[in-house]
Structure 1
Amino acid sequence: MFSVAKEPADQPEIQRLLDLSDAVAASLYPGAFRQPLNCATLSRPDIALYVARNTADIEGSRALGCAALLDLSDGTAELKRMIVDPEYANRGIGSGLIHAALEGARQRGMRSVLLEVGIRNIKARRLYERAGFRDRGPFASYLDTPIATFMEISL
């Protein structure tokens, strides 16, 4: 069992998840175009962080995954740094994080959510497609690269 809620980013468990995300990116794209993030970066007021926690853990509710929603100030938001601890993969946590982030975007009056996903991250791409995201071109400051694809979902 897990729950998803908006939380502050400045927590050791969030940094642990960001480190996992960096490790996944490094394994898929060694030396290429990676932009590591830290808790301080995700603590900006234009970013909402959604955290999935284990509600069945008697020792405390461990962070199982997170996803950041960045307000792009034009009626759109970007889904960033979504990661689920591999120990808890295939349990619906990724879908739960997407659902919470999309609901948060709707509540903030966003018209769509955009994301960038690497071409080698097949599992993530399939998850986004199942949630309703569709291909689109680069957005914001992103450039077209051979290792990235861009997706969007209308709200």
Structure 2
Amino acid sequence: MYYLGMLIAIENPSTPDITRLLNEHLQEMYATSPAESVHALDISALLHPTITFWSARESERGELLGVGALKQYENGTAELKSMRTASRARGQGVAATILSHILEVAKARGIAEVNLETGTETYFAAARRLYERHGFVIREPFADYKEDPHSVYYGLTLES
């Protein structure tokens, strides 16, 4: 799907440039949060059949701009995972575009609710603002998550 000069498509997370971006993501998560509070997935976990993984690429040159994933649960809910914008593409609406696309797909799949976990540290403030702008509201821990002072949980009910 094309958006504002970006191509958003399902892609394998083991693609070399995506692997580099995801490794950077994991390194920053471990540098920012205690290890027990890092819930970012590695590449092998992102290959699980319940997860759909998207990349956003510059439409003319194919340069990787960002990624995002959706993990579907059997109960009709889903979890947003691995949202990451490449450093050189920050502030250009990449994350908002990927998020909007993922929410459209979730709605089309009949998913009733999309949840997510993100950090409470200042580093994650921009992410929290992005999710709140898209209608996510703070909620209790979901799935296998537990109360954690380094995590905040959000949910968004999708209207069918």
User: TM-score if structure 2 supplies the norm length?
Assistant: 0.88
TM-superposed deviation, 1:23: 2.4
Q: What root-mean-square deviation, in Å, do the aligned CA atoms of Structure 1 and Structure 2 show?
A: 1.4
- Equivalence for 1:75: 76
1:56-135 aligned at under 5 Å gives the runs 56-57=60-61, 61-120=62-121, 121-135=124-138
Give the aligned residue type for 1:76. T
Structure 2: distance between partners of 1:36 and 1:99? 20
Query: How many residues are matched?
Result: 152
TM-superposed deviation, 1:3: 2.0
User: TM-score if structure 1 supplies the norm length?
Assistant: 0.91
Structure 1: distance between partners of 2:111 and 2:17? 29
Structure 2: distance between partners of 1:42 and 1:118? 20
Matching of residue 143 in structure 1 with residue 143 in structure 2: no
Q: Is the 8 A contact 1:3 1:53 kept in 2?
A: yes
- Equivalence for 1:26: 30
Among candidates 15, 22, 26, match of residue 19 of structure 2: 15
TM-superposed deviation, 1:146: 0.6
Between the aligned residues of both structures, percent identity stands at 34
Structure 2: distance between partners of 1:30 and 1:146? 10
SS at match of 1:82: strand
Among candidates 52, 55, 66, match of residue 56 of structure 2: 52
Structure 2: distance between partners of 1:78 and 1:56? 31
Provide structure 2 residue ranges, at least 5 long, that are not aligned to the other structure.
none
TM-superposed deviation, 1:56: 3.2
TM-superposed deviation, 1:70: 0.1
Q: Is the 8 A contact 1:67 1:81 kept in 2?
A: yes
Give the aligned residue type for 2:9. A
